[in-house]
Amino acid sequence: MEGDQGRREEGAAGGAGKWYELFSRGARDWLRHDEKVREAVRANLPEIIAGGEVINDGARTVRVPVRMLEHYHFRLRRPEEAQGAGQGKAKPGDVLSDPARERGPGEKGAGGRDEGEVQLLLEFKVDDIVDWLWEEMQLPNLKARVGPSDESDWTREGWDRRGARSRLDRRRSFKELVKRRGAPGATPTFTDEDLRFRQLARRRQPAVHAVVFFMLDVSGSMSDRDRKLAKTFFFWVVQGLRRQYRSLETLFVAHTTEAWEFNEPDFFQVTGTGGTVASSGLLKVREVIDTRFNPGRSNIYLFYASDGDNSVSDAAEARAALASVAADTCFTGYVEVSSGLSRQLATETGKLFAELSGAGCAVGSYALNDFDDVWGAVRHFFTAESHSPDGPRAADAPAGGAPQAGSP
Amino acid sequence: MTEDWRSYVQRIEELAARSGLSFNPVDFEAVPDSFMMEVAIYGLPVRMPHWSFGVRYIYQLIQRRMGHSRLFEVVFPGNPGHAYLAESNGLAENILVTAHVLGHADFSRNNLLFRRCQQQVSERIVEHAASHARQIQHNIEAHGAQRVEAVLDAALALEQHIDVDQDLRRERYAEYLADPRTLVDDTFRKRFAALEPAAPSASLERKRAPVPPHAERDLLWFVANYAPEMESWERDIFLAVREESFYFYPVFATQIMNEGWASYWHARLLREADFVPQQSYLDAIKCHSDVVRPIAAEQQVSLSVNPYHLGFAMWEKIVAKDGLDAARRIMEQDDDFAFVRNHLTRELADELGLFRYSARSDGQIKVLEQDLTALHEALLAPRYNFGAPVVSAAHVRNDGTLELTHDSSVDGRGLDLERSRKVLDYMQKVWRRPIVLTTVNQAGSALELTAP
């Protein structure tokens, strides 16, 4: 019975029938809606980036609440008092509760005009957002400083007549055998001459490793809001660099008049009291670099967030420490988080960086007064980074055979 | 199962014809629920793609998941008509639905508004819509999805702004003002001209007619014809949307009558169909009472009126009082406005427990005193002007700026500014010159919106 039915229907529809089982137009148009929402979100990236709340520690996604898009029509303004017609047991003067108003407009789908509010929570991959950022900023991707990798990476390269048994290439050896004997069919007997062993070669790798220092001023003058600003900014810096380097090591240093290294969760909770001595933090960074890293072999970045109120007596020491650190980093960035007062880098620390920048070092500064500025800051640093020539670093960097990076 | 149902179709059709229904042949097809839902959302089996349908689709999915709505059938008038029945319908439901569809087929063939619009649009709207969809697909390939979408944004936003009193295929306005002298009595003019052969020729002083010569409600047509820099494929999209709106209008403007009529006939045909097995009959009657029930079971009062219920009750009353012939005449001549105003009587309104209420923005709802005329208008108000505010094109300035006016004296209050602004943005992308819209603000004084 069933089969019969199927055949008949197909005949009636002339073969083209049943297309609707293959394809849902509703879903297609819904996907387009979704795409539009994403485009809209994308167009507002600065706001997303600025929204500190969206960033969960360690999460690879960012959640953005969005409303469904509305296709707008001319509509009358909502009246203060609307009249309608209803049905049921009600007398004039009765006051009714509002039983089902929110529940949508009955059975007619085709009208669908009074859609209730439905909130969507769209999840974006942080990677996607960073991709968009890159497109948006049209950055030539950051150039990884080339250097020999610590990881040894062996690749097969050629054959030899000698080698370990485990690297015997049977196929190749058999070929040799056939070549030598010239006649297939006969029982092959291998001689030592036929054997071929795979050779390994160690390949030099471009540096895929980067080290980022985040240095935060936690002195008494830094408010919670300042720290949050810094955190949001740091988050996006990590994302940006992570895109560039296969492995990224992040180090967190906080300082007041002293400096400490922290792990990430604690780092943003730290509050300190007392004054600001930038040199203490910079010396700490210096110390970590010296003890754990080889500046010639790692790409080191330093981002420093502070309100800029470095103690005046520290100026000389800070200058020296900064110059020393900057000489070993690919880039050193300074964000001045001073919510409320926009001093535009006219601070002690600001001057310090300006000086260094004037001297041609790969440093940059940006004043971060509000969450809206985070976008600008990210943009500023990454554009600056890509534009700054390897400059002073170029001279002493390539030591370990960088030119070979591309060769197989 | 389905086989069973099909064997009844012919007998129900014969019974319907004997009962005086006259309808075009109808193609019945059982389709999956998902397809039913899409047909309901798009309004046509195959229609142009647009993201706004995707939004409705999701709302519909949500509603369905919450168990609010179930579709038994969707029917498209035409010759032949097309009826899609949900595959999930049981036998009894399908028998009922078949009778229901024939009621619709009778209605759409004989109702004047339907006939007029079908003459304009042709009886093959389903095929037309499919070819529009195909054309738009070509446009997407030729001009890119984004440009096509921008045009559809505008066209579909204006889909209710048509003028069904005019022809679907309208001529452009006369380019010149009628010469007042040609209006004078002809014989006199001839004699006068004969007296003075050297009189200056009238044609030399012809005056260009303003565009539009009168406030134009058919915005889709007006934009398609008078937009200063629209490309021809864009105009075609506007006209395609407009044609579909001409098809939708009678469905919209006769909903109470049409659904009532179909419900009346499915109930009556079912009563008379002695060939339907007892059990199926009972199931079908139960289904009928679900469809035409006024209020959801768990409620005492509903703040909306089920058009199936209202129409059904009105037709029963009319047939009982004045007979079937009178009912058929009313069915042919009226639309919902005439139908409700003429035939929803005080007694019937009381019998059905219809009332008028006012809802304040703070959520308080109060039942108002009885007033039949006001009740009619409360029922009909959402249906005026295709459910849209009265916005018309008033003038095109020399620089191409389009002036739109909203007639707040008819609508009683001004436009929603935020939405209107967005609509202007849509329109601006195809009009490509500034657009100015006047409406009134809360206090009732004039207000101008502009784009860009």
A191 or B424, greater pLDDT: B424
CA distance, residue A295 to nearest chain B CA (Å)? 50
Nearest CA in chain A to B387: A75
Chain B: nearest CA to A19, how far in angstroms?
A: 10
In the numeric block, which tokens belong to residue A161? 């007549």
Question: Is the CB of A83 less than 8 angstroms away from the CB of B157?
Answer: no
B440 — contact with chain A (CB < 8 Å)?
no
Provide, as residue numbers in chain A, all residues whose Cβ is less than 8 Å from the Cβ of B50. Answer: 29, 32, 71
Q: Round to the nearest angstrom and report the end-to-end CA distance of chain B.
A: 59
Q: Do B423 and A115 lie within an 8 Å CB cutoff?
A: no
What would the pLDDT profile of B426-451 be if each residue is shown by its tens digit? 999 999 999 999 999 888 888 999 98
Q: Which carries the bigger pLDDT value, residue A122 or residue B71?
A: B71
What local confidence, expressed as pLDDT, does residue A272 receive? 74
The answer to whether B316 and B352 are in contact (CB under 8 A) is: no
- pLDDT for res A140: 40
What are the residues facing B404 on neighbouring strands? B393, B437
Q: Shortest Cα distance from A62 to chain B (angstroms)?
A: 23
Q: Do A72 and B422 touch (CB under 8 A)?
A: yes
> How far does the CA of residue A70 sit from the closest CA of chain B (Å)?
7
pLDDT tens column, B204-251 = 567 788 889 999 999 999 999 999 999 999 999 999 999 999 999 999
ipTM: 0.88
CB pairs under 8 A between A and B: 258
| Closest Cα in chain A to B362 | A80
The rounded percent of chain B whose pLDDT value lies above 70 is: 94
Which has the higher per-residue pLDDT, B256 or A13? B256
Q: How confident is the model at residue B338 (pLDDT cuts 50, 70, 90)?
A: very high
Task: Kindly identify which residue of chain A lies nearest to residue B60, measuring between CA atoms.
Answer: A109
Contacts of A103 in chain B (CB under 8 A): 68
Residue B167, helix vs strand vs coil: coil
The pLDDT value recorded for residue B183 is: 56
Contact with chain A for residue B69, Cβ under 8 A: yes
Which among B49, B304, B420 has the least Cβ separation from residue A86?
B304
pLDDT mean for each 10 residues of chain A (408 residues)? 32 46 79 84 68 54 75 89 84 72 37 48 73 59 50 75 87 86 70 86 67 85 80 79 75 86 77 79 87 78 84 84 84 79 72 80 78 76 53 33 32
* % chain B with pLDDT above 90: 60
Higher pLDDT, residue A392 or B286:
B286
- Do A84 and B304 lie within an 8 Å CB cutoff? yes
Q: Which residue from B minimizes the CA distance to A22?
A: B35
Q: Do B303 and A83 touch (CB under 8 A)?
A: no
What are the residues whose beta carbons fall under 8 Å from the beta carbon of B341, sequence distance 6 or more?
A: B376, B380
Mean pLDDT of chain B: 89
Query: Chain A within 8 Å of B161 (Cβ-Cβ)?
Result: yes
pLDDT score recorded for residue A112: 33
Q: Which of A395, A112, A17 is nearest to B30 (CA)?
A: A17
Q: Are B331 and B261 in contact (CB under 8 A)?
A: yes
Band of pLDDT at residue B295, cut at 50, 70 and 90: confident
The Cα of A72 is separated from the nearest Cα of chain B by a number of Å equal to: 6
Contact B410/A at CB under 8 A: no
Disruptive mutation site among B28, B293, B367 for chain A (greatest number of A CBs within 10 Å): B367
Say what the pLDDT of residue B23 is.
Answer: 93
Nearest CA in chain B to A113: B56
pLDDT at B262: 95
B382-417 pLDDT tens trace:
899 999 999 999 999 999 999 999 998 888 889 999
Of B70, B365, B423, the CB nearest to A73: B423
Name the B residues in 348-387 with CB < 8 Å from any A CB.
352-361, 363-370, 374-375, 378-379, 381, 387
pLDDT grade, residue B321 (50/70/90)?
very high
Residues 10-49 of B with CB under 8 A from A: 29, 31-32, 34-35, 37-38, 40-43, 47, 49
Q: Measured between alpha carbons, how far is B328 from B343 in angstroms, rounded to an integer?
A: 13
**Helix B91-110 with B112-121: angle, nearest 10 deg:** 80
Q: What is the 3-state secondary structure (H, E, C) of chain A?
A: CHHHHHHHHHHHCCCCCCHHHCCCHHHHHHHHHHHHHHHHHHHCHHHHHHCHHHCCCCCCEEEEEEECCCCCCCCECCCCEEEEEEEECCCCCCEECCCCHHHCCCCCCCCCCCCCCCEEEEEEEHHHHHHHHHHHHCCCCCCCCCCCCCCCEEEEEEEECCCCHHHECHHHHHHHHHHHHCCCCCCCCCCHHHCCEEEEEEECCCCCEEEEEEEEECCCCCCHHHHHHHHHHHHHHHHHHHHHCCEEEEEEEEECCCEEEECHHHHCCCCCCCCCCHHHHHHHHHHHHHHHCCCCCCEEEEEEEECCCCCHHHHHHHHHHHHHHHHHCCEEEEEEECCCCCCCCCCHHHHHHHHHHHCCCCEEEEEECCCHHHHHHHHHHHHHHHHCCCHHHHHHCHHHCHHHHHCC
**Contact status of B134 with chain A (Cβ, < 8 Å):** no
Out of A1, A74, A109, closest to residue B389 by CB: A74
Which chain B residues are Cβ-neighbours of A107 within 8 angstroms?
68-71
3-state secondary structure A27-46: HHHHHHHHHHHHHHHHHCHH
DSSP A392: H
What's residue A288's pLDDT?
A: 87
Domains of chain A, earliest start first: 22-71+117-138 (no CATH), 153-203 (no CATH), 209-399 (3.40.50.410)
- The minimum CA-CA distance between B348 and chain A, rounded to whole Å, is 12
Name the closest residue on chain B to residue A97, using Cα atoms. B365
pLDDT in tens, B151-202: 999 999 999 999 999 999 999 998 887 766 555 567 777 777 777 665 555 5
Q: How many helices (H) and strands (E) does chain B have?
A: 18, 10
Q: Are A85 and B357 inside 8 Å of each other by CB?
A: yes
Cα–Cα distances (Å) from B4 to B7, B90, B92, in that order, read 5, 10, 10
* Chain-chain contact of A86 with B303 (C-beta, under 8 angstroms): yes
Contacts of A4 in chain B (CB under 8 A): 3
Query: Residue B357 and residue A76: Cβ atoms within 8 Å?
Result: no
Contact check, Cβ <8 Å, B355/A29: no
Whether cis (ω within 30° of 0) applies to the bond prior to B212 is: yes
The whole-number pLDDT of residue B327 equals 96
For residue B390, give the DSSP letter: -
Contact B419 A99 (CB under 8 A): no
A131–chain B nearest CA distance, Å: 22
Candidates A28, A38, A72, partner chain B, best to mutate (most B CBs within 10 A)? A72
- By C-alpha distance, the chain B residue nearest A88 is B301
Chain B residues whose beta carbon lies within 8 Å of the beta carbon of residue A36? 51
Mark yes or no for CB contact A109/B69 under 8 Å: yes
